[in-house]
Chains A and B, each alone.
Chain A
Amino acid sequence: MLEKTGIVTRDRLDSKINELLSSPKRKGAILECYEEIPCNPCSTSCPTNAIIIKPDINAKPEIDYEKCTACGICVYNCPGLAILVLDMNYSESKVLFKISYELLPIPNNGDIVKGISRSGKEICDVEVVKVINGNKQDHTSLISVAVPKEHFKEFVTIKVGV
């Protein structure tokens, strides 16, 4: 249970993912923000105003998948590292994730690393497709990862090196 372990339950996660899957583009940000906290950088950083937090900054964010371009700006601006971008259309067998990453070493393009679940377990090998770590990211790298389609509901982050 999320409130006891920090691991979100399947049903809460599924309702987030299903919202994305039922959108026409089938790609966009998944906001894993399950609790009302005073915070709004995802909304204020979004260049297309796709993320709305109202009536005040404690409200949970709502996303409009018609406006979301899957750019990933909210991913590295979220202080809780609670946002993933998912693109279901990447290839026949793989989906593409954009994740935030703040550990060392920072992987390189083309690296094969471990895909990790929300409970910290290794689930499969994944391929690092792109690493963006410039001034705008301010030490929170934006990493694109190709993940086998069958694991898209479990994948949340990567483990680099041993």
Chain B
Amino acid sequence: MKTVELAIVGAGPAGLCAAISAASMGSNVVIIDRCKDIGGQLIKQTHMFFGSEKQYASRRGIDIPNILLDELKQYEEKIEIITDATVLAIYEDKVMTILQGENYFKIKPEAIIVATGASERVLAFPNNDLPGIYGAGAVQTLMNVYGVKPGDRVVMVGAGNIGLIVSYQMIQAGVEIVAVLDAAPTIGGYLVHASKLARLDVPILTGHSIKEATGTESLEKIIAWKLDEKWQGIEGTEIELEVDVACISVGLTPLSELLSQAGCEMKYVPELGGVVPLIDQNLETTVNNIFVAGDVSGIEEASSAMVEGYIAGLYAGKKLGYSLLDFDELVDDYKMQLNDLRSGHHGDRIRNGINKIMRGEEKC
């Protein structure tokens, strides 16, 4: 069985940044990703990023994997990337089992950074299994990775950033957005994204959700209705939307199963999107030498995932015995960036959530 210094699970924004900073300290790194492409969700994010220059603001998500891979190139001899491979389990002795096609193998890392990201939530309503009902991420993959138009007339459910951004990208692909619904009384995503849709004549209906879907072979109609203040549908307020696609974007939930299975102490924290590990300020879990970065420990933006990746990579490198002259300055700068990214009102939830999982002294 191959022994490695640091294994990183996930080659998305968090995993790639973790690899850069760990390798910059001298650590040998193996990155494992279940997809063929490097970059996680970045590879379909055709929009410009928010944040500051340090998190590649104003650059498009699709261009960021190459920027990060270029950075990784300077540590080429220290980095191995295994794609199309799923990490199946992490055992108590840190043995990691991996399935790549038909090939099943094990590695034994000294330290692990889990950067598996998140998966989309589903919404329960009658006939939600009709063909034509997609998660927003699936639609984005179809369009922006494979160049396939998802349909002609779409209703988007969810006015968070993903729902708003994917709606805009569908319009760019020539798809008509009939409406964006959101159960909440106000828009959850950035208002600038909502205004981009409003000026393209897309109605955003807050306080609305899906009552049911109808169709024989595939989706033909979405019946939406208004919700009362207890988020219950109000009879008599139904509207019929003739659509061939309904796109569900009602939030993400951390892909934290590997951490549970590795024995990390976990907690259900609604503000962070689901079951997440307890962590300390160095992003280490309750299991020695298992670190986390990105959405796996709480749903946020890719910009914070990248910064968390850099931090986890530095601390993992340190635990492996490596050092950097400017280690403290780097860590301080990254922590300040995280603080900035989380300090606005959109960061309220995440700050509350992190306070519930942070061990030790330092809280947000």
A residues with a Cβ closer than 8 A to B are 2-8, 32-41, 44-45, 56-58, 77-82, 102-104, 116-121, 138-140, 156-157
State the Cβ distance, A37 to closest chain B Cβ, in Å.
5
Contact A5 B185, CB 8 Å, known A36-B344, A139-B60? no
Q: Which residues of A contact B230 (CB under 8 A)?
A: none
- Could you list some 28 contacts between A and B, CB below 8 A? A2-B191, A2-B194, A4-B204, A4-B206, A5-B204, A5-B206, A6-B197, A6-B198, A34-B191, A35-B190, A35-B191, A35-B192, A36-B344, A37-B192, A38-B50, A38-B341, A41-B53, A44-B57, A57-B340, A78-B58, A79-B50, A80-B50, A80-B192, A81-B192, A103-B172, A118-B198, A119-B199, A119-B201
- Interface residue tally for chain B (C-beta within 8 Å): 42
Q: Is the CB of A116 within 8 A of B199?
A: yes
Q: Is the CB of A32 within 8 A of B50?
A: no
Q: Which residues of B contact A80 (CB under 8 A)?
A: 50, 190, 192-193, 195-196
Q: Is the CB of A4 within 8 A of B49?
A: no
From A32, A102, A116, give the contact of B192 (CB < 8 A).
Answer: A32
State the Cβ distance, B106 to closest chain A Cβ, in Å.
41
- Output the residue of A7, A80, A118, A138 with the most chain B CB within 10 A: A80
Q: Which residues of B contact A32 (CB under 8 A)?
A: 192, 195
Q: Is the CB of B202 within 8 A of A120?
A: yes
Q: Is the CB of B196 within 8 A of A39?
A: no
What residue of chain A has the Cβ atom nearest to residue B55's Cβ? A38
Q: Which residues of B contact A4 (CB under 8 A)?
A: 185-187, 204, 206
Q: Is the CB of B195 within 8 A of A117?
A: no
Q: Which residues of A contact B124 (CB under 8 A)?
A: none
Q: Is the CB of A39 within 8 A of B50?
A: yes
Q: Is the CB of A79 within 8 A of B198?
A: no
Q: Is the CB of B201 within 8 A of A79?
A: no
Q: Is the CB of A58 within 8 A of B190?
A: no
Q: Is the CB of A120 within 8 A of B201?
A: yes
B residues with a Cβ closer than 8 A to A are 47-53, 57-60, 171-172, 174, 185-187, 190-204, 206, 303, 340-347
What residue of chain A has the Cβ atom nearest to residue B182's Cβ? A4
Docked CA distance A138–B58 (Å): 10
Q: Which residues of A contact B201 (CB under 8 A)?
A: 119-121
Q: Is the CB of A103 within 8 A of B52?
A: no
What residue of chain B has the Cβ atom nearest to residue A138's Cβ? B60
Q: Which residues of A contact B49 (CB under 8 A)?
A: 79
Docked CA distance A6–B201 (Å): 11
What residue of chain B has the Cβ atom nearest to residue A122's Cβ? B201
What residue of chain B has the Cβ atom nearest to residue A58's Cβ? B344
- Output the residue of B186, B192, B198 with the most chain A CB within 10 A: B192
User: 19 new A-B pairs (CB below 8 Å) besides A6-B204, A140-B48?
Assistant: A4-B185, A4-B186, A4-B187, A7-B195, A35-B192, A36-B345, A36-B346, A37-B192, A38-B51, A38-B303, A44-B52, A79-B48, A79-B49, A82-B195, A103-B172, A104-B174, A118-B199, A120-B200, A138-B60
What residue of chain B has the Cβ atom nearest to residue A120's Cβ? B201
Q: Is the CB of B52 within 8 A of A57?
A: yes
State the Cβ distance, A127 to closest chain B Cβ, in Å.
19
Q: Which residues of A contact B195 (CB under 8 A)?
A: 2, 6-8, 32, 80, 82, 118
What residue of chain B has the Cβ atom nearest to residue A59's Cβ? B344
From B58, B200, B343, give the contact of A56 (CB < 8 A).
Answer: B343
Q: Which residues of B contact A103 (CB under 8 A)?
A: 171-172
State the Cβ distance, A7 to closest chain B Cβ, in Å.
5
From B58, B185, B206, B345, give the contact of A41 (CB < 8 A).
Answer: B58
- Output the residue of A57, A58, A121 with the most chain B CB within 10 A: A57
What residue of chain A has the Cβ atom nearest to residue B345's Cβ? A36
Q: Which residues of B contact A38 (CB under 8 A)?
A: 50-52, 303, 340-344, 346-347
Q: Is the CB of B57 within 8 A of A37?
A: no
Q: Which residues of B contact A118 (CB under 8 A)?
A: 195, 198-199
Q: Which residues of A contact B58 (CB under 8 A)?
A: 41, 45, 77-79
From A7, A45, A57, give the contact of B51 (CB < 8 A).
Answer: A57
